[in-house]
Amino acid sequence: MSVISTVSERVIALNFGQEIARGSYEEVSNNREVREAYLGKED
């Protein structure tokens, strides 16, 4: 994902076609809902 942070000022994360986050790479990658959607929930 580091390539995304170097070429994009703003990113949008989608989950099944629904926008779940919008902002800088850092904001979106640190978003709890994004992390759960892409990496799964922590136990």
User: Confidence class of residue 42 from pLDDT cuts 50, 70 and 90?
Assistant: confident
User: Confidence class of residue 17 from pLDDT cuts 50, 70 and 90?
Assistant: very high
**Is it the case that residue 1 has pLDDT exceeding 80?**
no
* Dihedral sign of CA atoms 30, 33, 37, 41 in order: positive
The neighbouring-strand residues paired with 18 are 15
Using CA atoms, how far residue 9 sits from 6, 16, 17, 36, 40, in Å, is 8, 23, 21, 23, 26
* Mean pLDDT computed over 5-9: 90
Q: What percent of the chain has pLDDT over 90?
A: 79
* Dihedral sign of CA atoms 43, 27, 5, 38 in order: positive
pTM above 0.85, yes or no: no
